[in-house]
Structure formats: C-alpha cells, structure tokens
A and B are shown apart, each in its own frame.
Chain A
Amino acid sequence: MSSYIINIAYLIASVLFILGLKGLAHPRTAVRGNLTGAVGMLIAVVVTLWHRQIISYELIIAGAVVGSLIGATLAIKIQMTAMPQLVALFNGFGGGASVLVAGAALVESSGMIAASMTQTTIATVASGIIGTVTFWGSLVAFGKLQDIMPSGAILIPGRHFLNALIGAVAIVLGVLIVMNPEATTMYWILVAVSSVLGVLLVIPIGGADMPVVIALLNSYSGLAAAATGFVLSNNVLIIAGSLVGASGLILTNIMCKAMNRSLTNVLFGVLGPSDEATTADEIYGGKVKSTSADEVAMLFDTAKRVTIVPGYGMAVSQAQHAVRDLTNLLESRGIEVDFAIHPVAGRMPGHMNVLLAEANIPYDKLKEMDEVNSTIEQSDVALVIGANDVVNPVARTDPKSPIAGMPIIDVDKARTVVVIKRSLSPGFAGIPNPLFAADNTLMFFADGKKAFIELVEAVKES
C-alpha cells in the first residue's frame, strides 16, 4: 500500500479520535464517542500492517494476542471499586510502550548513513523521560491504590534536592545522547535514571491527592505518545497524543481547583496539620454523640429529604449496593434522596459516580457540590459515608488550616448530620473535623456497608 493511502487513513483515524473525545465529554454521546475512538484505532492499526517496513507478522500477532487477552480480561473482571488502580495501570502501559518504541527507533537509526537528525533524537530523549516517568509513576500509584505498598505519603528526607539532582542527571544524559545518537546504551541508562525519578515523584503523594496524580499521569501518557510521534515523524501519534495530553491537563486542573491547591503544591507540597492546630481532644472532648441504626431510622420517619455524601470509605467497604437498597427503601416511603458528590471524593476523578452507577443509582440523583450547597439547608438528614476532609467546615472557617479555602460540601448546614465512620481518625489532611462534634451531628461508628445494611433493617422494622 502506498504511503499516501496509509497517511490518508491516519488522517481519518485522527478525525475519529477528535470526534470520539468530543463525544466522551457529553453524557448523551459518550458511548458513541468511545466506539468512534475505537474505530479510529482499528483503522490506524489495520493500515499500519501494510507499512513497507513490515516483513513478518508472527511477532505482531503474538504480541497483539497476548496484549488483547490481558487487556480484555482486566477490563471484564475488574471490580468497579478497583477502577482507579486499573486506570493507573493502563496509563503506565501506554507510557511504557512509548519508551520501548522510541528506544527501538533509536537502535534502528544507529549505524545508518543518514544518521538521525538532532530534533528526532531530542524527541527520543523526551519520549524516554516522559514515558518512563509515566510507567513507574503509574506503577507506584497502582501499588498504593492496590495496597501493595503504604497508601499514604512516603516522605524521604531531602527529596526535593534528590529529585532535582536526578532530573539534572537525566537532562545531562539527554544532551549526551543528542550529541552522540550512536551511543544507544546511553538511552537505556537514561531510562533507568528516569525510572528512579518516576518512583520518587509519586511516592510522596498519598491518599486524597491521588485523583490529581492519576489525571496528570493520564496527560503524560498522551505526551509520551506525541513525543514518539516526533521520533517516527508520524502525525497520527502526534495528534492523538496531544489530544490526550490536553484532556488529562484539563482534568488535572479541575481536580486541583476542587482542592483549592496548585499543581505544584499537590506534587511537591506537604499536606499536614500546622503546629498551632487545635488538637483532636480539644475539639471532640465530651461533645461527640454516637448513635445507632434504630435512632437514625427514627430520624428518617419524619424526614422529607435525605442527602447522602459518599467518600472513599464507601469504596473501601464496597457499600454502594447497600446504599442503593436504603435509597430505594426511603424513596418508597416518599422521602426525596439525592447524592452530593465532591469532585475529589475517592481516588480518581469521577470515582463516586462510577460506583453509584454500578449500583444502578440514576445519575440525575448525583448532584454536584454547588448545586447541593445551595439547597442543603432543606435537607432533613445528611448521611455522610466515609468522607471526611471534603465535609470539614474548617475549610471555611480557619484560614490557617491546611485545607483552608477548599470548597466543601456544607453538610453542617443540614438539619441533622449522621456520619458513618469507623472511628474519629482524621482524614488525609490529618486534621480533626469539628463537624463530628457539632450540635446537629450524630456519629454512627461502623463499617460503611454494615451500617447501611443495619439501616435498611431498622427502617423496615420501624
């Protein structure tokens, strides 16, 4: 097949990618958007098989079969609660593939008479660094989310200096490769150094900051593909890669805004209580009222509107189906139930929405933070399950607090607040939550799923 036809097919694929992403950003067209993207990919892959450099198909078929089996199995078997780590893993594989392709291109071009041009080598270096950081960063994120490694922030002393040093070494190696593209071993040293950098960059980021990191790694995986596009002078790689790079950056920005923090602060800052912070004892001492399922069921007897505020705790205890059961039961008794979703609740952008959709809760019940806050006073009961920092009123009241200025869901303004939580332990920000000691708050100390099952029983009996 002539390269003209292949390039026209790549153009069609690029257009389909643009239409696909556009579709994915709107609820009505999302399914079609995803399929459009997949068709674009299929076209691009099929015409590539006619590329004039390809002389054998065994390895391609073998690799594609293995990859498809692994990918399909993961996609079908994965539990919705494990979605953040799966997305992280897929990001990582994309980045890893870019590193290998750029490396192979460098090896191929070495020893040729028309040695590769400087700008191509620069792109190879960029692909190597970004792709490797994406790969290892994603694996660390996966490890944290899967609880293979500690999920909190792991702080290495002098890490900023260490990161800067390793970053500088990577750049020096990059310059050396650009000056002497024949030295392909240097590329793999660069990959090794970038691996350390990828691990070190994500290791200090923990828990509630994960949505930002995952969105950012998503963006990186696109940029790595675009860099590889420069290496191969392949336009469809450049276009698809930069589209994904842009979309990842948009999500990253949304997540940062939802926490009122800058990206630099999320990546390099440390979230933690300041020295003069009030201690948990001062805030909670004697003021926390605990409650039981029967008592909460009585609250529901007189309630007209119940707002449920889910957080990461709902995902951990896999409570979404029990939450759905209670929702249906309350609605059958004429109570209006809605859900307040904080943009960074959970461990990836949109985490809560996915879980509630899995439990068949219609998405018109899922309200965004601003919408809920404007009517929260009319809620008789606000039921908080496994959320902490995103409902901490300190964000509004104490300008010195580490979460000062973060937009929160104002559950404290509801008539009664019921917080389902296993203990009074602080959330990711490490600060006590005065909500738990407020006059209108009742603490229901239990595992999320168990609490909802008990609530369903109690409501049925009442």
Chain B
Amino acid sequence: MEIFVTALTIFVLAIFVGFEVITKVPPTLHTPLMSGSNAISGITLIGAIISAGSQHTTLTSILGVCAVVFATINVVGGFMVTNRMLHMFKKKGN
C-alpha cells in the first residue's frame, strides 16, 4: 500500500506540474505540442522492453515484442515528425 500511495503522490503532483508548465500555448504550436507530447507518452516502451526481455512465458514475450513495436513507432515517429514540423516553422520564422 505504501508503494501505491507514493505512486499516487507522484501522479497527482506530475499532473499539476503538467498544467503549470504548459500554459498559453500559441496556436502555431498546438500540433507540435500534441505530437511531441505523444512521443513522450510512448514511455511505455520501457515497460515493453522489460516484458520482451524477461522471457517469462511465450505469451508475455509475444505481448512484450508487440508492445515494443507499437511503442517504438510511437516514440521514433512522434519525435521525428515533430522535429520535421518545427523546422518548417523555423525556415522563415526567424
């Protein structure tokens, strides 16, 4: 239970941090913010890596490897496409 309460504390505080950090986003950045934050939500990748690598049973390995594929698409694609978009904004913007 103690671990759970610690986790809950971190969860609630992180949500507040999120609301405080992201204020007044200019509309130009709505899409990049979404795709960039989406790439960060691909953090599940590390859970997927542990599942795929621990070889507990065949089933968990299959689930793990599928999760690694899904999460890597999310992470790699998300960061790259955000970078591509932001560079378009930069070309003439500054």
Contacts and interface: CB of A to CB of B under 8 A. Distances in A.
A33 B40 contact: no
Given A70-B73, A94-B38, A100-B67, A235 B18 contact: no
Interface in B69-94: 69-93
Contact of A218 (B16, B25, B37, B47): B37
Given A64-B68, A67-B70, A236-B43, A72 B76 contact: yes
A67 B68 contact: yes
Given A54-B53, A362-B93, A100 B66 contact: yes
A103 B73 CA distance: 19
Contacts of B3: 233
Contact of B89 (A27, A48, A222): A27
A25 B44 contact: no
A38 B39 contact: yes
A51 B53 contact: yes
Contact of A18 (B4, B15, B21, B89): B21
Interface in A17-33: 17-18, 20-22, 24-27, 30-31, 33
A230 B88 contact: no
B86 A31 contact: yes
Contacts, number: 385
A169 interface: no
A282 to B, nearest CB: 36
Nearest to B57: A107
B14 A242 contact: yes
Contact residues on A (Cβ < 8 Å of other chain), bracket: 35 or more
A68 B76 contact: yes
A237 B60 contact: no
A101 B48 contact: yes
Tell me what chain B mostly uses at the interface: helix, strand, loop, or mixed.
helix
A97 B14 contact: no
A437 interface: no
Interface in A272-288: none
Contacts of B90: 31
Of the candidates A45, A214, A218, the one having the most CB atoms from chain B within 10 angstroms of its own CB is A45
Given A71-B72, A100-B64, A349-B31, A41 B42 contact: yes
A246 B22 contact: yes
A53 B71 CA distance: 19
Contact of A34 (B17, B30, B82): B82
Interface string B1-44: 10110010011001111110111111111111111111111111
A75 interface: yes
A100 B25 contact: no
A350 B43 contact: no
B37 A368 contact: no
Given A76-B84, A100-B70, A240 B41 contact: yes
A353 interface: yes
A107 B67 CA distance: 14
Contacts of A249: 19
B41 A107 contact: no
B82 to A, nearest CB: 5
A37 B79 CA distance: 8
Nearest to B43: A240
A62 B54 contact: no
Contact of B21 (A25, A75, A233): A25
A165 interface: no
Contact of B70 (A38, A97, A107, A354): A97
16 contacts: A20-B40, A22-B22, A27-B28, A41-B79, A55-B53, A57-B53, A67-B69, A97-B44, A100-B48, A105-B47, A228-B44, A235-B7, A236-B43, A238-B7, A353-B27, A362-B93
